[in-house]
């Protein structure tokens, strides 16, 4: 699951997957701005067939947090 998240982040932000880890965030990835974050949410929701809660959308600004949020839906 972590790999699938990393792959989506890499594709949407157009960043090599090797440069990404759980600590990656808008502070470490230049192309991760608020607009690309919206694209990222759309792609993640499609990939995992989930819908984040509205407050999650604005909170999951780090790969590790995204993985946690996705886990919450896929574990249930």
18 versus 54: smaller Cβ distance to another protein: 54
Burial degree of 35 (CB within 10 A; 0-12, 13-18, 19+): exposed
Answer yes or no: are the C-beta atoms of 19 and 63 closer than 8 Å. Answer: no
CB of 28 to another protein, least distance (A): 19
Structure tokens at 9: 């982040």
Which residues sit at the interface with another protein, rule CB under 8 A?
Answer: 7-8, 11-12, 14, 34-35, 38-39, 41-43, 45-47, 52, 54, 57-58
CB of 71 to another protein, least distance (A): 19
């Amino acid at each position: 699951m972590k790999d699938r998240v990393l792959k989506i982040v890499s594709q949407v932000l157009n960043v090599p997957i090797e440069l990404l880890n759980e600590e990656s965030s808008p502070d470490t990835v230049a192309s991760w701005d608020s607009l690309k974050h919206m694209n990222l949410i759309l792609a993640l929701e499609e990939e995992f067939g989930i819908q984040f809660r509205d407050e999650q959308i604005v909170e999951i600004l780090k790969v590790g947090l995204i993985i946690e949020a996705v886990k919450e839906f896929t574990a249930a």
